[in-house]
Amino acid sequence: MEILNSAEFWIVVAAASEIIALSPLKDNSIVQLVLHVLDSLKGKRLK
């Protein structure tokens, strides 16, 4: 769990969050984006 104590890790997480917030997607967090992608993949497999 040393990665959670790393400043670089949190900088990358914050940068990813900001990039997602600026994207045209309606998802505004990393969790929502991941859930949206999983839902999209699940929907494509069922069709």
> Roughly what angle, to the nearest 10 degrees, separates helices 7-22 and 30-46?
60
pLDDT of the residue at 27? 62
User: For residue range 12-43, what is the model confidence (pLDDT) as tens digits?
Assistant: 988 888 887 777 766 667 777 788 888 888 87
Q: Residue 4 and residue 10: Cα distance in Å, rounded? A: 8
Q: Given this model, what pLDDT does residue 11 score?
A: 92
Residue 47 reports pLDDT greater than 50: no
